Amino acid sequence: MPVPQTKPVVSFDNTAIAFASKSDAELRRMYALFAAMNNKSLVSFGGGLMKKALGWGLPGTKTAVKYTIFQQFCGGETIAECKPVIAELGRYKIGTILDYSVEGEGSEKSFDHTRDELLRTIDLAAGNPHIPFSVFKVTGVADSALLEKVQAGKALTAAEQTSYDRALERVDAICRRAHEKQVRVFVDAEESWFQTTIDDLARDMMRRYNRERAIVWNTYQLYRHDRLDGLRHDYELGVAEGYYVGAKLVRGAYMEKEARTATQRGYQNPINPSKQATDDLYNEALRFSVEHIDRLAICAGTHNEDSSRLLAELMAEHDIAPGDERMWFAQLYGMSDNLSYNLAHAGYNTAKYVPYGPVEAVMPYLLRRADENTAISGQSSREFMLIQREMQRRKQSGR
């Protein structure tokens, strides 16, 4: 019988570990940035202004963005620019998940370009122990309208079928390269009105490439009330058909859009009725995953301290070593360093999502990040408080 834990398996309060990689000057820069992000009006007005200024090509705008919010949340404009970030995170035993965050133009040419860029991230990961995963959005290589039409069961025209077949080839090319190079790859979750199509594609890729281990990982947004059922279903299929299931567990990223679309289209909102319901479902998904680790590999993609602590405790209760390759924690670059650095310091497999791409093209991602930081209960305030605490600690201790 498992022995009850008498003390936390890992602590997230050690700011000396959390900010070990940051100089005093870097801490001061972060302090100023998160202080600004605590002001919702400033974020809303300033974000829109920055986007317009970049569009107009105003001198100095790109530099101002690149060395403030871009520097905080992105690794660079190119893979090459990300290499110092990869090495720095690696020094602290934190992996990098390179996330090409350019939102495509919707053309076949842009989809091909994104596929080729993703293949380059896989090739780099194959030769670098500090890059444990690659990641892609299906809408980066496929038209979302086609994905939606397929989910709705509508017939495609000949031209649409040709485009869809090309999209399937791109998805397979990415997953095939990942399998050849033995690099894990996340398939990101997206909006519910075409997520079933994405789930079907991810499942097909798992059948094809997850026979020996979990190479392809699907993403489950637990703010949807049906996603734990989806995870259970996928596990049962994996057992029945003899393949491994990779599962990245997140809370979700499209809550307002999902609610708005459900109202507009007249169907039930797929989002849980409360944050507590989402938290409970997320934690139940962690429990299910740990109890079925025979066929599951999981990544807890979360900034939630309680869920991160729970997973560490569940691993201890089930005698799963912190470094077990089937168990991962992940957070976004530039956020929740108290989780990432303390988990990695305690020996848990930990990685950061590191977005990259040209400043102008990554702006939509950055504006969402800023909006989310003001919207998530206490997120920017918590980051601000932790930075403040570490600055005070250094002042008192001399470092």
Query: pTM of this prediction?
Result: 0.92
> Looking at residue 283, what is its pLDDT?
98
Single-letter amino acid, residue 176? R
> Measured in Å, how far apart are the chain's first and last C-alpha atoms?
44
CA distance 118 to 66: 23
- Residue pair 278/266 in contact by the 8 Å Cβ criterion: no
- Residue pair 114/169 in contact by the 8 Å Cβ criterion: no
Q: What is the pLDDT averaged over residues 53-59?
A: 56
CB-based contacts of 345: which residues, under 8 Å, 6+ apart? 14, 17, 92, 93
CA distance 233 to 349: 26
> Looking at residue 377, what is its pLDDT?
44
Question: Could you tell me which of 299, 298, 257, 249 has the C-alpha nearest to residue 278?
Answer: 249
pLDDT digits (tens, 9 = 90+) for 154-176: 999 999 999 999 999 999 999 99
CA distance 387 to 382: 9
Bigger pLDDT: 34 vs 393:
393
- Residue pair 185/123 in contact by the 8 Å Cβ criterion: no
pLDDT digits (tens, 9 = 90+) for 86-124: 999 999 999 999 999 886 678 999 999 999 999 999 999
What separation in angstroms does the CA of 193 have from each of 46, 140, 147, 165, 233? 32, 16, 9, 20, 19
H-run or E-run covering 45: helix 40-56
**Confidence check: pLDDT of 193 > 80:** yes
> Looking at residue 320, what is its pLDDT?
97
Residue percentage of the chain with pLDDT more than 70: 87
Question: Two tokens at 284?
Answer: 């139940």
CA distance 230 to 222: 10
**Confidence check: pLDDT of 6 > 50:** no
**Confidence check: pLDDT of 375 > 50:** no
- Residue pair 236/288 in contact by the 8 Å Cβ criterion: no
